[in-house]
Amino acid sequence: MGLFKRNPFGHILFIKKWLIRVFGALTHRRYRGFNELHIEGSEIIRALPDRNVLFISNHQTYFADVVAMFHVFNASLKGREDNIKNVLYLWNPKLNIYYVAAKETMQAGLLPRILSYVGAITVERTWRAGGKDVAEHEKKEVNPNDTENIKIALADGWVITFPQGTTKSFKPVRKGTAHIIKQHKPIVVPIVIDGFRRSFDRKGLRLKKKGILQSFIIKEPLQIDYENETIDEIVEKIEYAIEQHPSFLKVIPTEEIDEMKELDRQRQWNY
């Protein structure tokens, strides 16, 4: 790889590689040490093509979710079986991984700007501003450059997106993701995460609690009829795949909550 070789967005791959190495080494113990990341489905990652893959996931923090994905994807590609043992898997990381992120989030400080260089495709959210939902008449038009950048990223490699566009659970899946799927026909791989909200602060930068068992479940690619399925049908399929459909809502019994707390206490004691 040439020293100044760039990706389609102009980022120097040598710099990107070192950013992934450094931030990966700094964050590794957040998922294997202070907390433990339970992974399922690493064999699915190894079976994927190098390009035109779209990962869809529920969202719990701004940055910790994406960082975990960089760890899991690279560990899986280096032969790790549902684990991220030995961070040397990041010495030669996959460099064509991108993630969709809100422009306002990635411009809020020096660290987000640095993390943006790792692979952010920044988009202007039409339905939120300043962390709040906007009224229907105040929504912005979709920026065509945003969708074009996602197209470029899919043509170059893998793209991670959080189709709800927020870290709040059971919010509606945005139709923009379904439009991207119909238009570009990527392989769509669902991921369901949990435990990140309890482990980290909302931004995913500060470790909030130790001894939490985080889960990272990679599911088989969705079966999608790109030509005949409607946008609403694809949206519903996404909601079920990332376990954010309203039917997943339930009242958790007090006994189950107490049992979860006791498990967390035991894990913390073990660490």
Looking at per-residue pLDDT, the higher value among 266 and 145 belongs to 145
Q: Does residue 4 sit within a domain? A: no
The answer to whether residue 5 is domain-embedded is no
Which CATH number fits the domain that encloses residue 101?
3.40.1130
Q: Map tokens 């960082």 to a residue.
A: 67
Residue at 151 is within a domain? yes
Burial class (CB in 10 A: 0-12, 13-18, 19+), 139: middle
At 139, the pLDDT band (50, 70, 90 cuts) reads low
Q: Is residue 8 part of a domain?
A: no
Q: Please say whether the beta carbons of 181 and 54 come within 8 A.
A: yes
| 198 within domain boundaries | yes
Number of structural domains found in the chain: 1
Lowest-pLDDT range, 101-110, 173-182, 239-248?
A: 101-110
E strands, the chain, are: 36-40, 53-57, 97-102, 120-123, 128-129, 132-133, 158-161, 187-194, 213-218
Domain assignment of residue 3, yes or no: no
pLDDT tens, residue by residue, 95-134: 999 999 988 888 878 888 888 999 999 998 664 555 555 4
- Chain segment 55-102, per-residue pLDDT in tens: 999 999 999 999 999 999 999 999 999 999 999 999 999 999 999 998
Q: Which pTM value belongs to this model?
A: 0.86
* Residue where the block lists tokens 């105040």: 138
Could you tell me the residue range of the domain that residue 78 belongs to?
13-269
Listed in sequence order, the residues at least 6 apart from 226 whose beta carbon sits closer than 8 Å to its beta carbon are 181, 182, 185
Q: How confident is the model at residue 229 (pLDDT cuts 50, 70, 90)?
A: very high
Nearest CA-CA partner of 175 in 244, 235, 223: 235
Are 89 and 80 in contact by the 8 Å Cβ rule? The answer is: yes
What mean pLDDT is reported for the chain?
A: 88
Left, alpha or beta for 211 (phi > 0: left; psi -120 to 50: alpha)? left
Contact call for residues 3 and 14 (beta carbons, < 8 A): yes
For the chain, the maximum distance between any two Cα atoms, rounded to a whole number of angstroms, is: 58
- Number of residues that make up the chain: 271
CA triple 105-110-116, angle to 5 deg: 55
Q: How far apart are CA 182 and CA 47, in angstroms?
A: 22
CA distances from 105 to 108, 111, 112, 165 (A): 5, 11, 7, 12
- Which residues does residue 55 pair with via DSSP β-bridges, in sequence order? 160, 189
71 in Cβ contact with 29 (< 8 Å) = no
Q: Is the distance from CB of 219 to CB of 244 less than 8 angstroms? A: no
The tokens describing 202, both together, are 């909302």
6 within domain boundaries? no
Two tokens at 35?
């907390």
Instruction: Please check whether residue 35 lies inside any domain of the structure.
Output: yes
Query: What tokens appear for 109 in the block?
Result: 């400080």
